[in-house]
Amino acid sequence: MLVALARGVAPGRRDAHASALLPRPLGGVVALAADRPLARGLLRGVTLGLVDHIALRTAALDAVVEEGRERSIPQLVLLGAGLDARAWRFGAHGYQVYEVDHPATQTFKRRHAPKGAAPIYVPVRFGDERVADALEAAGHRADQPTVWLWEGVTMYLPEDAVEDTLGQVRERSAPGSLLGVTYIEPGGIHAAPGIRTMVDWVFEGLGEGLGARYRPDALRRLVSRHGFVVRRDGGSETWPRLWGGEPRMAQLVLGAERLCVAECAGADSD
């Protein structure tokens, strides 16, 4: 919900679907602030730069989706989709979009989702069901390339769960598939100690305590073990500003988050 709110009030390009996807109180905030720069500026400050961070991260991952579209990759899979609206923003561009998430989240989303260009919902109880099996049952084609987006999830998982999911992604990835995965470096939250503790408490209170963290070289080795070749890796200071985020604001709290973009090169490639 916080991510959808941030996209809905981003200082530049804004997600037009965010207010509909959110519960009424938050959706009302988004609708109220959408065309009010002062209100958007207040939210940017109150969230300690979260709005700017999400704006930049969204632009960076959208660039991966656009790259896949230019390559005529037919499938887009959102792992832990939440209230993401990419199915409506990109579904009309030739993609078959699959959203993998908890059944309860998807039940809520179905009730609020915009009409048209709906994704194929793939309900998965992570830890109890295999993502690869659920995708196969939903019609995903492992013999065709896929753009995989794994946004804002790995940092809430233990390392063995990250490893297992990457293995299943590889099972379903034809050569030429693209993977965009965000992760947090070992430094974790960028903030003064008092603020860092408060932010940790907030994440714990939301039931999403921070877990796996990687240095760029360790993440490179991890995805390489699963048949992906890293094409680029950078933090928010390198991300495009199409959604209007300011890198200095974006680094107030989540400046340690990075995006790794890798390609499945096939069995015969190094």
* CA-based radius of gyration for the chain: 18
Whole-angstrom distance, CA of residue 221 vs CA of residue 105:
32
Task: Give the pLDDT of residue 192.
Answer: 43
Task: Give the pLDDT of residue 148.
Answer: 98
Regions of the chain where pLDDT drops below 50:
192-195, 203, 206, 267-270
Cα distance from N-terminal residue to C-terminal residue, the chain: 40
145, β-bridge pairs: none
Task: Give the pLDDT of residue 108.
Answer: 94
Pairing of strands 257-264, 178-184: antiparallel
Which of these, 69, 91, 118, 88, lies nearest to 4 by C-alpha position?
88
Selected from 3.30.390.10, 3.40.1710.10, 1.10.10.10, 3.40.50.150, the CATH number assigned to the domain covering 51-264 reads 3.40.50.150
Three-class secondary structure of residue 146 per DSSP: strand
Task: Give the pLDDT of residue 188.
Answer: 59
Task: Give the pLDDT of residue 204.
Answer: 53
Whole-angstrom distance, CA of residue 130 vs CA of residue 138:
13
Those residues with Cβ within 8 angstroms of residue 132's Cβ, 6 or more apart along the chain or in another chain? 168, 169, 171, 172
| pLDDT tens digits for range 152-176 | 999 888 899 999 999 999 999 999 9
8 A C-beta contact, residue 245 and residue 9 = no
Query: How far is the CA of 219 from the CAs of 56, 225, 229, in angstroms?
Result: 21, 10, 11
The rounded Cα 146 to chain-centroid distance in angstroms is 15
8 A C-beta contact, residue 9 and residue 40 = yes
The rounded Cα 132 to chain-centroid distance in angstroms is 19
Query: Which residue in this structure is represented by tokens 């400046």?
Result: 255
Task: Give the pLDDT of residue 37.
Answer: 86
